[in-house]
Amino acid sequence: MTVTESVAADFDPVELEILWQSLISTVNEQARALQRAAFSPIVREAGDLANAVFDRRGRMVAQAVTGTPGHINSLAIGAAKMLEEFPVDTLEPGDVLITNDPYKTAGQLLDVTVLVPAWRNGQPIAFFGSTIHHTDVGGYGIGAGGRDVFEEGLWIPICKLMKGGERNDDVWRFILSNVRQPDHMAGDLHAQMASGQVGAQRLTTLCDSFNLDDIEGLADEIIDRSEAATRASFKELPAGKYDASAVLDLADGSLIDIVCSVQVDNVLGEITVDYEGTSDASPWGINVVKNYTHAYTTFTVRSCINPDIPNNHGSLAPINVVAPEGSIVNAIAPQPGTARHVVGMFLPNALLKALAQIKPNEAMAEGSGAVWTMQVNGNHDDGSPFITAMFTYAGGVGARATKPGLSACSYPTGVSAVPIEVVEASAPIRFHEKSLRSGSGGAGQQTGGLGQTIAFSVDTEKPWQLNAVTSRLSHPPEGIFGGKPGAAGGFSVNGEAVQTQARISLSKQDVVRLDLPGGGGYGTPE
């Protein structure tokens, strides 16, 4: 559905559609500029980022198609929180806001959010926000071993990165003095600011073309139409409460229960997702802040029920998320969460079971869930240090009613795999194997997607460290409606299973092998 297919509006329908498509083109160009300029391979190659435009009230109006739901829908909340601390009317031309506060944005310190105002007639008329995964913010790195948020890295409160077009020197010094690769950090921050400026320039051109002083009226129209269309789609659903659960296992053998209920109110056109009964917070850094839980919950609901409605403040408003404070899906300070994606990306496996009771043909079987993340650091033979940006791999996606699951392609994230050539160029890593796991997809009327096998070592005479975040090693993805489960995963070094979530030290002859899970099948096998 396009924005012109909803209720009547003051805008001419043709003009409104042109304006809408222009906004989408603007944020897409913002995202492309960021990817071209970014230092981190996970941003440049894999698209681990979010870009969106916000109105003066901090409401997300449009998002770029490139990015991950966890970043985009967390940014939708985080931008408003930044403007609460720095109200619009207190800003001056050239100001740029920054934070990586995990409890107000995307849940981990490595995800840094930058907000660039767009000015017109002496007033900020919009904000171009971006959230990207930085290579390093000091601390533990991209792993689950941090014991609290303070051990995980540098916490940047909401503050001004730029003041009046000049560097806020104290802020820059604090940031760059606390990271291992200051040049990379500075480069990525400049890429975020530059992409925001690209968006602001394109918006100025758009306003000039249509003689707009601001975008408040346009934002109202887009957001109101999106909300009305979303509520209309929810009103078509059968009212009731639908319960489901799923079990996630980790490398150390611990189990996490994700319990959820979906309450459909087809009078108001609202859906409430309640995670009461879900496991308490973990001592590992896998805890999920509510923003991130909200992000993947809303994405799952919308991808199942109304995927064609634009994703913005309006379409997110009719979805309510309830999560017990202090649980693994609503972390509070100082609970650690650098590897929060392992739980956050798993949530759809439980939620889709509840939604399958409402719309069975639009749901799918369990998949591998979160991507498996790797980060390698150590020293070259000459003693110089190296650290790879996070590189990720996906298992199989669950089967659907009319199609098999996708292989080595993780739902629900939009992160691509960083090409092995890029990983090998960033550090002395040597890949031995990268192949699909034959037969790992669960049988059914539709077969689950295949997992994949990755094997690698590091060519250095000195010890090196591996931060690895894996899951689904003993509890494989379940099938649905009689479908069979996919294959469980495996994580080993030299053939011996790894049974910890913490960072491990290895040597040159050690070979890491990753066998990612396959997706579950849909329907009883013929």
For 360-407, what is each residue's pLDDT tens digit?
A: 999 999 999 999 999 999 999 999 988 887 889 999 999 999 999 999
Tell me if 302 is assigned to some domain. no
Cα torsion 335, 340, 345, 350: sign:
negative
Q: Looking at residue 286, what is its pLDDT?
A: 96
Total structural domains in the chain? Answer: 2
CA dist., res. 8 & res. 2, Å (int): 13
Query: How big, in percent rounded to 5, are the helix, strand and coil portions of the chain?
Result: 30, 25, 45
φ, ψ at 22 (rounded to 5°): -65, -40
Taking only the tens place, the pLDDT of each residue in 101-154 is 999 999 999 999 999 999 999 999 999 999 999 989 999 988 999 999 999 999
Q: What is the pLDDT of residue 386?
A: 87
Give this prediction's pTM. Answer: 0.95
Q: Is residue 356 part of a domain?
A: no
According to DSSP H, which parts of 177-254 are helical? 182-210, 216-235
Residue 293 amino acid letter: T
422 in Cβ contact with 472 (< 8 Å): no
Segment 20-35, tens digit of pLDDT: 999 999 999 999 999 9
Question: If you ran DSSP here, which 8-state letter would residue 327 be given?
Answer: B
Cα distances (Å, whole numbers) of residue 450 to 77, 143, 154 = 35, 25, 38
494 within a domain of the structure (yes/no)? yes
Q: 66 pLDDT band (50/70/90 cuts)?
A: confident
β-pairing verdict for 372-379 and 385-387: antiparallel
Is 465 a domain residue? yes
Region 196-205: mean pLDDT is 98
What distance in Å separates the CA atoms of residue 394 and residue 370, rounded to the nearest whole number?
Answer: 7
241 is a domain residue: no
Q: What is the pLDDT of residues 169-199, one digit of tens each?
A: 999 999 999 999 899 999 999 999 999 999 9
CB of 431 within 8 A of CB of 404?
Answer: no
Q: pLDDT per residue over 335-353, tens digit each?
A: 999 999 999 999 999 999 9
Distance CA(67)–CA(76), nearest Å, equals: 13
Q: Is 48 exposed, middle or buried (0-12, 13-18, 19+ CB in 10 A)?
A: buried
Domain that holds residue 32: 3-225
Determine the pLDDT at residue 3. 46
Domain end call among 225, 259, 287? 225
Mean pLDDT of 416-420: 89
Backbone angles phi, psi at 289, to 5 degrees: -75, 160
- Percent of the chain residues topping a pLDDT of 70: 98
Q: How far is residue 121's CA from residue 99's CA, in Å, rounded to a whole number?
A: 27
The closest alpha carbon to 43, from 203, 190, 201, 197, belongs to: 190
Give bridge partners of residue 51 from the DSSP assignment. Answer: 130
Which residue reads 């890491």 in tokens? 512
Answer whether residue 314 is part of any domain.
no
Q: Is residue 329 part of a domain?
A: no
Measured CA distances, 382 to 188, 378, 426, 463 (Å)? 27, 11, 16, 13
Among 225, 242, 262, the domain-final residue is 225
Instruction: Indicate the residue among 225, 242, 269 that finishes a domain.
Output: 225
Residue 321 lies in a domain: no
Q: What is the pLDDT, as a whole number, of residue 91?
A: 98
Consecutive H or E run containing 175:
helix 169-176
Is residue 304 predicted with pLDDT exceeding 70? yes
